[in-house]
Chain A
Amino acid sequence: MQPTIANTNFKTEPYQINMGPQHPATHGVLNLLLTIDGEIIKKVEPDLGYIHRSIEKMCERDSYQQIVHLTDRMDYLSSNINNEAVCLAVENALQLEIPERVKVIRTIIGELTRISSHCLWWGVMGMDVGALTTYFYGFRDREMLNDIFEETCGARLTMNYNVPGGLMLDIHPNFVKRVKKFVAHFKTKIPEYDRLLTDNVIFQKRTKGVGILSKEDAISFGVTGPVGRASGYSCDVRKYHPYSALDKVTFKECLKTEGDTFARYQVRIMELWESLSIVEQLIDNIPEGEHRVATNAVIKLPKGEYYQKVETARGELGVYIISTGTKNPYRLKFRSPGFSNLSALNHMAVGGKIGDLVATMATLDLVIPDIDR
């Protein structure tokens, strides 16, 4: 009888898998075309366009007051900061003098929006690494903020609170009281976040050394916001180009040098503390005054090009307006943070496992309408 020779000449072969557009981890309609060898990721190709609404083209049709409303629908989690960006661009072009009261309120609401966005991110981050409970804790605190926004401007998500020239309405009489209550409440809750997720051994094992992005790569991919700062790239627009009342407050830029998933996580948690401190510094001395300065009913920007950037919860949002002197912009371009941050995903995820990809993607904090616009 002949000895049978076992065939040891097995070949593994990478295969492709569609992650999304309906997938729990892509948080929206992002389609990732993964090339995988077993569990190891060889290539990640984001396929965009599932929620493209041609916002930039619509802007060319609309007046400047109307454009503000469209920006809510880009990064809906920092809608108020998006509104502010367009308003600032228009106001700077018109060289309007904005009352101090408006500036302070804008900054407070902007920082509260950042906190609410990070709360949601924290909940979803936990969910992506498998701790389902965090979601509800994040939402508990976000709910308080949403109630404050609702009382202030009537909307919980797409706020439309800013208009060129100021604010749509003055703040509600309860605003200061409720914000103070929230600040006191949230200060006791961030340590709870740490106890539940940050200090968990499994969580640290899942995130440390995963999805590393070096400072050089961060700069070359144009990564901004907490993702860039976790790689040691100092890029806080609030620090370098302060707008509204941000030049009156003291806060420190949250920097980490590791560049891994855990560093990005820590930067966001640190930002929660910083945003709280900014709100605390401003909430007690909101100056009296008008909440809006009058503008023409039809705003016509002088001929020229204008650029304004702000720091949203995800990074640097740029608004670039080319005006030909008519009531509509000739061309309006948004530089959205999510798009640049997503471009680094392939670089970060290759070589890791599927679980690593999900954890990395969670800390990029992608909002798909922001990427597709």
Chain B
Amino acid sequence: MNKSLSILTNIHDWLFSIMPEGVASIVEMVLIGVAYLGFFAIAGLFLVLLERRVAAWFQLRIGPNRVGYLGLLQTMADALKLVSKELTGTIKADKFLYNLAPYFVIVSSLMALAVFPFTKEIQAFDINIGVFFLIAISSIGVIGILIGGWASNNKFALIGAMRSGVQTISYELSIGLSLLTMILITGSLQLSEIVEVQKSGWLIVQGHVPAIIAFMIYMIAGTAETNRAPFDMVEAESELGAGFHTEYSGMKFAYFFLAEFINMFIIAAIATTIFFGAWLSPFGITESIPWLGVFWFMGKALILVFLMMWFRWTFPRLRVDQLLTLEWKYLLPINLVNILIMALIVWLNLTIKF
């Protein structure tokens, strides 16, 4: 066991030694919760900054470079500004639902973070139906968007919310089915076990052709799930102004905004876990240093996040009917056939294993 990881174990042992078992586990849960909240905030701020820098890079600009060293504190300043802003709202809004909506969105993102195996030891919640849990939790977010759009009492927001409902319900099918394709190889929904299986080759290698198809479908559907371009029908700046969060300001808007970026990270993290071996290093080059797993996990996830940003800053937006055509007429049938192929491959033992 490495030193840095043993610190975690030491804290655990120390907590249980100074107080009764029940109290200690509650204190531990709170500590872990706070740690995840901290990660959530920092990751959100970092991803917003990354997006702005990437966008600037695509658009012949420099991007934020004034606040702090190389503009690293820019998003911090933005967050402070948003906190200090007045919370406005429409007069005839449904106040209760209007205020509730941002929490739905942000809590669902936060809950999904709990199950990711950042490295072998750092995983808050190793539930045996991990993949199912992820899919279930990430679909709660859309309820927040629907509620927000409905309760704002604004027609643009309502159109945005309805589009979001249509889009998320459709593309969740593809996400679920493409992950299911990979589950055929692992035979388990538990994320730690899925990683174990990948010690003999990442699933995208093990499952070769159908796995690559599943990965592509997953990335398309995942981009749609986070409501980002080219599937940003929900916000559709040039059509709906700001879509479902037109009437939100200050911190409530920031919740929606932060949740979008965290969702992007979650989609990338799921792909990392299922397709690219989570914290496993390529060819096991750093197997002797377990804490480097965090580096590998984050690195892979960030590459996929960059891919999604690349989509956003180069593609035009689809129209709402084309969006549904893509899902129901192309992705879904391909996905179903793909599952059959994968089932055959697993049955005939044609997977590639090292």
Contacts and interface: CB of A to CB of B under 8 A. Distances in A.
A353 B159 CA distance: 12
Given A25-B239, A128-B238, A203 B320 contact: no
Interface in B55-107: 55, 58-61
Contact of B320 (A39, A127, A133, A197): A39
Interface string B315-332: 111111110000000000
Given A206-B322, A358-B239, 6 more contacts: A129-B317, A135-B59, A205-B319, A206-B316, A355-B317, A355-B320
A247 to B, nearest CB: 39
Interface stretch (B111-119, B206-214, B228-236): B228-236
B155 interface: yes
Contacts of A196: 314
B319 A206 contact: yes
Contact of B241 (A23, A133, A203): A23
A195 B219 CA distance: 23
A132 interface: yes
Contacts of B315: 130-131, 200, 202
Contacts of A133: 55, 58-59, 313-314
Nearest to B60: A136
B156 interface: yes
Nearest to A124: B238
Q: Which 3 A-B pairs have the closest CB atoms?
A: A130-B317, A136-B59, A131-B316
A202 B317 contact: yes
A304 interface: no
Contacts of B322: 202, 205-206
B239 A354 contact: yes
A85 B61 CA distance: 37
Contacts of A129: 238, 316-317
B11 to A, nearest CB: 46
Contacts of A358: 238-239
Contact of B155 (A17, A25, A130, A355): A17
27 contacts: A17-B156, A24-B241, A25-B238, A25-B239, A39-B159, A126-B316, A129-B316, A129-B317, A130-B230, A130-B232, A130-B236, A130-B316, A132-B229, A132-B313, A136-B59, A136-B61, A137-B59, A200-B315, A202-B230, A202-B316, A202-B318, A203-B316, A205-B318, A206-B316, A206-B318, A353-B320, A355-B320
A54 B263 CA distance: 51
Interface of B: 55, 58-61, 155-156, 159, 229-230, 232, 236-241, 313-322
A180 interface: no
A50 interface: no
A15 interface: yes
Contacts of B313: 132-133
Given A202-B230, A202-B318, A140 B238 contact: no
A24 B60 contact: no
Contact of A131 (B155, B239, B241, B314): B314
Interface in A338-359: 353-356, 358
B48 to A, nearest CB: 16
Contacts of B237: 24, 130
A6 B238 CA distance: 39
Contacts of B156: 17
A210 B60 CA distance: 31
A: interface residue count bin: 20 to 34
Interface in A193-235: 196-197, 200, 202-203, 205-206
B187 to A, nearest CB: 38
Contacts of B59: 132-133, 135-137
Interface string A50-67: 000000000000000000
B121 to A, nearest CB: 41
Contacts of A200: 315-316
Nearest to B231: A130
A133 B61 CA distance: 10
Nearest to A202: B316
A205 B236 CA distance: 17
Nearest to B235: A130
A38 to B, nearest CB: 8
A24 B313 CA distance: 18
Contacts of A136: 59-61
Contacts of A205: 318-319, 322
A202 B159 CA distance: 22
A196 B315 CA distance: 9
Contacts of A197: 316
A284 B232 CA distance: 48
Contact of A130 (B58, B229, B321): B229
Nearest to B163: A39
A355 B320 CA distance: 8
B313 to A, nearest CB: 5
A353 B322 CA distance: 11
A265 to B, nearest CB: 12
B305 to A, nearest CB: 18
Nearest to A359: B319
Contacts of B230: 130, 202
A137 B239 CA distance: 22
Contacts of A131: 314-317
A147 B242 CA distance: 34
A102 B176 CA distance: 69
Contacts of B232: 130
A132 B315 CA distance: 8
B236 A355 contact: yes
A127 B315 CA distance: 10
B181 to A, nearest CB: 25
A137 B317 contact: no
A174 to B, nearest CB: 24
Contacts of A355: 236, 239, 317, 319-320
A353 B155 contact: no
A17 B241 CA distance: 13
B104 to A, nearest CB: 25
A21 to B, nearest CB: 12
B155 A140 contact: no
A314 to B, nearest CB: 20
B193 to A, nearest CB: 39
B88 to A, nearest CB: 16
Contacts of B159: 39, 354
A356 B241 CA distance: 15
